[in-house]
Amino acid sequence: MYKRLSAIMFPLTTLLLIGALVWGYQENQEKNSILIKAENQYQRAFHDLSYHVERLHGELGNTLAVNSASTGMHRKGLVNVWRLTSEAQNEINQLPLTLLPFSQTEEFLSKISNFSYKAAIRDFTKKPLTDGELNNLKALYKSSGEISKDLQEVQDKVIQNRLRWMDVETALASEEEVRDNTIIDGFKTVDKRVSAYPELDYGPSVASIYDKRSVKKHGGSLVTAEQIRAKAAKFADAGNGAKIDVKGNGIGTEWASYTATVMGSNAAVPITMDFTTRGGHLISYSDNREVGPAKVSMTNAVSKAEQFLNQKGYPNMTAVRADRFDNLGNLTFITSQDGVLIYPEKITIRVGLDTGEVTGFQASDYENEHQEKRVIPKPAISVAEARKFLNSEFKELYNRLAWIENEDSEEVLTYEFGGKINGSQYRIYLNAADGHEETVEEIRTSSGAQDM
């Protein structure tokens, strides 16, 4: 019996063992194949990064080498600089550097990219490169040369010593302290060098991209938690039985704020509000009640939202957008001054369409940009003259004066034309001084949406 059993089990066990060995071998081969593929991708991205930074240095030199009046060559050079920095940024993102301090270099390349793009797209016949911008290019030329040299030194060591990027990824992912690693040390050296470069004045259009809209920008003195509690009670119309908790967020940092939670005596769901620490300005409001089936029209919702804003101390607000999502209405309001819409001063309102009551409020843009009275010039051209600059196929639905912030981060008076072309709806903003296009926005429409 045992002989018969062993005669069956031995071949079966042998087959299973061989199968396990074959499976293990295949798994190991697949694993090695994935590792080789990842290593090849890392190596390609790194060598491409070194190449593009070297090309960036050369292109900056070419741009500086031509006559200061060669606007055509300046534009071409800056377009190439923008393209090369974009390539370099993309290659950095492909490397396993998430745990390695390399943010200074990434931000440096980002600023070069934005500076070159903003400069290249403008009309050089009207606004050629300034002396300050040319000095920036000289500084960037020198800095990019130093970075390129450092990267090439790392590249030489990688090639000579056959270093692997997979070892870098393993070292960075390890919880143990990272010891000597040529690639890691090389990138740390580059980032340390970049951090020592003096900050350049890239102009307002680039600076605005990196501008931290801190609540410290708000005027007024620092407020206390008790003052916030009083403001929250007044805004929420809380009764005497309401419980109000106030919590400080990031106190001592540039993002400091207060969050007030109001629990009414008869309410089961709290209302939360965020306030700035300076001046106690309200920046957000959220009523977390459950919203029932829609019974209120969007027109009535806009009307109720206008009443809410007036009651809460936000006069002269005009609705410019209304979107419906199931039983909620999302409305956008803009300050109106002397018939001109002030787009930087924006407030968004969320309305429950069961009762028409406001359930959400976001005023951070308004609080950051609000001015008591802006100095707005008169239009230099009429709306009829501005209309001549529109595409002949543009079907105009409305027009109005609008005060906007353009791509150069400058506030300008424009004619806003709303209309349709090519099957889509757009807002086109034409400068009220000379009719040139300041910006174009496609209005994405959803069910129940209204561009007002």
The helix (H) or strand (E) run that includes residue 210 is helix 204-210
| Contact assessment for residue 167 and residue 181, using Cβ atoms and an 8 Å cutoff | yes
Q: Is 394's pLDDT higher than 90?
A: yes
Q: Is 17's pLDDT higher than 90?
A: no
Instruction: Choose the weakest-confidence range: 36-50, 215-229, 274-288, 410-424.
Output: 215-229
| Contact assessment for residue 415 and residue 378, using Cβ atoms and an 8 Å cutoff | no
Q: If you ran DSSP here, which 8-state letter would residue 316 be given?
A: S
Residue 110 φ/ψ, nearest 5 degrees: -60, -40
Number of helical H runs and strand E runs in the chain: 11, 13
Residue 276: Cβ within 10 Å count: 25
User: What are the strands, taking DSSP E only, across 354-436?
Assistant: 358-362, 395-405, 411-421, 424-431
Compute the average pLDDT of residues 286-307.
90
Task: Give the pTM.
Answer: 0.69
pLDDT value at position 15?
A: 62
pLDDT value at position 416?
A: 96
**What's the N-to-C CA distance of the chain in angstroms?**
92
**67 contact partners, CB below 8 Å, separation of at least 6:** none
Q: Which amino acid is at 276?
A: T
pLDDT value at position 214?
A: 46
Delimit the domains of the chain by residue range.
13-210, 217-334+347-364, 383-451
Residue 23 φ/ψ, nearest 5 degrees: -60, -45
pLDDT band at 156, cuts 50/70/90? confident
Compute the average pLDDT of residues 231-245.
84
pLDDT value at position 335?
A: 94
**31 contact partners, CB below 8 Å, separation of at least 6:** none
Compute the average pLDDT of residues 297-324.
92
State pLDDT tens for residues 143-155: 889 888 988 888 8
